Amino acid sequence: MNKLLRQAGTALVYLFLIANAILVLSPVIWTVIASFKPGSNLFSSSFEGFQFTLDHYKALFTDTPYFMWYKNTLLLATANMIISLFVVTLTAFIFSRYRFKGKKNVLMSVLVIQMFPAFLSMTAIYVLLSKLNLIDTYTGLLLVYVAGTLPFQTWLVKGFFDAIPTSLDEAAKIDGAGHLTIFFDIILPLAKPILVFIALMTFTAPWMDFILPTLILRSEEKMTIAIGIFSWISSNSAENYTLFAAGSLLVAIPITLLFVVTQKHITTGLVSGAVKE
């Protein structure tokens, strides 16, 4: 009887997981099919009578400045990843290893700020960047990205650094190592999983974002992939959703490959900060 109950429970779990997988993958499958079907109507795409064409992908590379959008997005995502990694890891190291007045209050303030939705600050961001003459610049966009990801990621990386024994720092100091030597030669090599996770998150944010580039960027030559494809298809007399499906599929492929390659480090980085020695 107990064996039958366990088997029934296992079957229910598998059915639940399969149903969730179908629910999640159905829009992806529909988008892939739509990108290879002729026409411009997304709802004309179906699983029956499939017709294969590469016209939408050819149109992306011949009728649109897709390579320019791709280059802009890659430059922005890479710069955000490098700057965020440096700022987040250095800030987390300071909060993890140093003692100073007001440390706890600053950490709590950072956590409280992170609780407010980003949409509440859109107007303030635009006004501030306007005063600084940073509208339509990658500098202004990077400033918003780095400042927006700093609170949560600092807490996350600090939790990982706290799990690294301070005895390693003390042994290095005895050998004459300074604070920067400890940071670069001891802490960072041991923090590889969380660094990979932070790098992937900060690279993905500009790559997939649509709202902030639309708010800040104005010039056509500075457009990212998201706003470039959207503005191009919406400027035509008929909105070409199948072309948009092809463009979005090409955008998703690099991110998907990165997630597959770094999956082990992502899992380790997510759970490691919760364990302390």
Is residue 274 scored above 50 in pLDDT?
no
Q: What is the mean pLDDT of residues 155-180?
A: 86
Least confident of 2-16, 32-46, 51-65, 119-133: 32-46
Residue 240 one-letter amino acid: N
Q: What is the mean pLDDT of residues 132-161?
A: 89
Least confident of 24-33, 111-120, 209-218, 221-230: 111-120
Per-residue pLDDT band for 275 (boundaries 50, 70, 90) equals very low
- Contact assessment for residue 255 and residue 266, using Cβ atoms and an 8 Å cutoff: no
What is the reported pTM?
0.79
| Token duo for residue 95 | 């909060």
Give SS3 for 39: coil
Is residue 237 scored above 70 in pLDDT?
no
* 14-28 pLDDT tens trace: 999 999 988 888 888
Least confident of 68-72, 93-97, 124-128, 259-263: 259-263
Is residue 163 scored above 90 in pLDDT?
no
Least confident of 167-181, 190-204, 226-240: 226-240
Q: What is the mean pLDDT of residues 219-242?
A: 76
At residue 272, the pLDDT reads: 53
At residue 45, the pLDDT reads: 47
Is residue 88 scored above 90 in pLDDT?
yes
Is residue 79 scored above 90 in pLDDT?
yes
Q: Measured between alpha carbons, how far is 60 from 222 in angstroms, rounded to an integer?
A: 17
Is residue 1 scored above 80 in pLDDT?
no
The residue written with tokens 């191009």 in the block is 232
- Contact assessment for residue 168 and residue 185, using Cβ atoms and an 8 Å cutoff: no
H-type alpha helices, the chain: 2-35, 55-63, 66-97, 103-114, 122-131, 138-163, 166-174, 179-182, 188-190, 192-208, 211-216, 225-235, 241-261, 263-272
Angle, alpha carbons 36-38-40 (nearest 5°): 105
* 173-188 pLDDT tens trace: 888 888 888 888 888 8
Q: Measured between alpha carbons, how far is 163 from 186 in angstroms, rounded to an integer?
A: 13
Per-residue pLDDT band for 268 (boundaries 50, 70, 90) equals low
